[in-house]
A and B are shown apart, each in its own frame.
Chain A
Amino acid sequence: MSNTNRALNRILLALAGLVLLAAGAVTAAAGLVPDIAAAWTATGTFLADQARAALGSAPLPGRPGSWWSVAAVAVFLIAAALSVAWLASQGGGRTPRLARDDDGDRGATTIDAGLIGTAVGEALDGNRLVVGSNVSAWENRRGTGLRLRLEARKGASPRELADTAEELVRGIDALIGHPVPVLVRITTGVRSRVAGADRAR
């Protein structure tokens, strides 16, 4: 339920892939075709000459170096900052607070996800199908939602687990007073493997 920008991830990964693909293809072609290798070197030398001329055209006052080098540093730093921003855009959105109700000047009521977690844990105590549970709240532009994870006992029916979860969600609705979006995740985990199978009845 995290707020990862998936479209951005795919666009940037596709761009990075295309750049690497093109660079690799040119390198491989330079290894296979002597003409391309010659063109590679000629282009490199030409660009180096151009760069030298450009660097000489805007010298720093009173010291060696060029304004173009300063501009290059700025461009590299901006590119690095954008990369870090991309890294920072992964995940996020988890919040301890599930709901908040302002009562004007009489105060405000907030409900923590921990409260729901404890309530769910107690409701599932001794449940035959579930060996563990976990509740977390996630926030995005559309509002706050609840993620309810149930660790299934080995062999437990997903339908029965889903029905159990739906019952739990009805209880949560009653507890909070208004319905919130809920994602139920039925998973296996370490405890599923250790706790033994759901026996025939």
Chain B
Amino acid sequence: MNQSQATRRILRRETHSSRATVSAVTAILLAVLFLWLALETVLGLLGEPALLAAPGQLWRWLTGLPQATIPAGLAAAGAGVALLGLALLLTALAGGRRSRRALESDRTAVVVDDEVIAAAVSRRARLAAGLTPGQVTSTVSSRSVTVQVRPTSGVPADRDAIHAAVDGELAAYRLDRRLAPSVRILKEGVLGQ
């Protein structure tokens, strides 16, 4: 694939999360926290009663926390906060790949949802085995497609034929990264199809 840098950039951004939602929530919480602290400090300066707690009160509460709380509760609260921090850190560091992928194209950047691929693969498997729509379900994960076939009772499904059909179909899509198919034939069939 010989794509321009701009196209590669678009593809990269479209197939990975921008972390915008988590960032927006964090930014709102931070803004509220800082505005509240500013407000409490101003109220303290004007000699007005505090909204929730004056800065001095807040600090005294924080200082006396180990004495005022049962140790197990403090440890649990700390673990909770630490876990939240760890989750944020992982959000920042993880790849953030979305369930969509790029298709080769000469002119444009093409990104297709995994759901669309799953539906098309299901259809192809169904046609190859002569089944009805409800009998095949496909799941696309990052590197493979799992095709689950529920055969008609008394009519064995040809696993190899379905596998070959699905493999050929996937190759025809020209995805940027190969998806390996795996076909599972369920033991229990459906009646009267």
6 residue pairs, one from A and one from B, having the closest CB atoms: A24-B82, A44-B63, A28-B78, A20-B85, A27-B78, A31-B75
Q: Which of A78-86, A96-104, A105-113, A120-128 contacts B (4 or more CB under 8 A)?
A: A78-86
Q: Is the CB of A183 within 8 A of B122?
A: no
**B45 within 8 Å of A (CB atoms):** yes
Given known contacts A24-B80, A31-B66, A182 and B107 CB-to-CB distance under 8 angstroms: yes
Which residues on B are within 8 Å of A, measured CB to CB?
A: 6-7, 10, 13-14, 18-20, 22-24, 26-28, 30-31, 34-35, 37-38, 41-42, 44-45, 47, 55-56, 59-60, 62-67, 69, 71-93, 103, 105-113, 115-117, 119-120, 122-123, 127, 133, 169, 172-174
18 contacts between A and B (CB under 8 A): A14-B93, A18-B85, A21-B85, A24-B84, A28-B76, A28-B77, A30-B74, A31-B76, A32-B71, A40-B65, A73-B41, A83-B28, A87-B24, A154-B119, A166-B106, A181-B109, A184-B111, A188-B116
Q: Is the CB of B111 within 8 A of A188?
A: no
Question: How close is B92's CB to chain A, nearest CB, in angstroms?
Answer: 4
Question: How close is A17's CB to chain B, nearest CB, in angstroms?
Answer: 3
**A56 within 8 Å of B (CB atoms):** no
Q: Is the CB of B111 within 8 A of A4?
A: no
Nearest opposing residue in chain B for A87, CB measure = B27
Given known contacts A145-B10, A166-B108, A182-B109, A4 and B18 CB-to-CB distance under 8 angstroms: yes
**Which among A25, A26, A156, A181 is the interface contact of B7 at CB below 8 angstroms?**
A181
The CA-CA distance from A173 to B77 in the complex, in Å, is 59
Interfacial chain B residues near A186, Cβ < 8 Å: 103, 110-113, 116
Question: How close is B6's CB to chain A, nearest CB, in angstroms?
Answer: 6
Q: Is the CB of A155 within 8 A of B19?
A: no
Interfacial chain A residues near B34, Cβ < 8 Å: 76-77, 79-80, 83
* A8-40 near B? 1/0 per residue, CB < 8 Å: 011111101111111111111111101001101
The CA-CA distance from A31 to B84 in the complex, in Å, is 18
The CA-CA distance from A173 to B106 in the complex, in Å, is 14
The CA-CA distance from A70 to B24 in the complex, in Å, is 29
Interfacial chain B residues near A48, Cβ < 8 Å: 56, 59-60, 63
Q: Is the CB of B18 within 8 A of A6?
A: yes
Question: How close is B35's CB to chain A, nearest CB, in angstroms?
Answer: 5
How many residue-residue contacts, CB under 8 A, span A and B?
Answer: 270
Q: Is the CB of B27 within 8 A of A17?
A: no
Given known contacts A37-B71, A44-B63, A169-B108, A26 and B37 CB-to-CB distance under 8 angstroms: no
**Which among B28, B75, B115, B116 is the interface contact of A87 at CB below 8 angstroms?**
B28
The CA-CA distance from A188 to B117 in the complex, in Å, is 10
The CA-CA distance from A179 to B64 in the complex, in Å, is 67
Q: Is the CB of A184 within 8 A of B88?
A: no
Q: Is the CB of A156 within 8 A of B27?
A: no
Q: Is the CB of B6 within 8 A of A90?
A: no
Q: Is the CB of B172 within 8 A of A185?
A: no
Q: Is the CB of B82 within 8 A of A21?
A: yes
The CA-CA distance from A1 to B9 in the complex, in Å, is 10
Question: How close is A129's CB to chain B, nearest CB, in angstroms?
Answer: 10
**A198 within 8 Å of B (CB atoms):** yes
Q: Is the CB of B10 within 8 A of A181?
A: yes
Q: Is the CB of A170 within 8 A of B107?
A: yes
Given known contacts A6-B18, A158-B103, A83 and B27 CB-to-CB distance under 8 angstroms: yes
The CA-CA distance from A195 to B62 in the complex, in Å, is 59
Q: Is the CB of A183 within 8 A of B27?
A: no
The CA-CA distance from A200 to B107 in the complex, in Å, is 29
Q: Is the CB of A162 within 8 A of B103?
A: yes
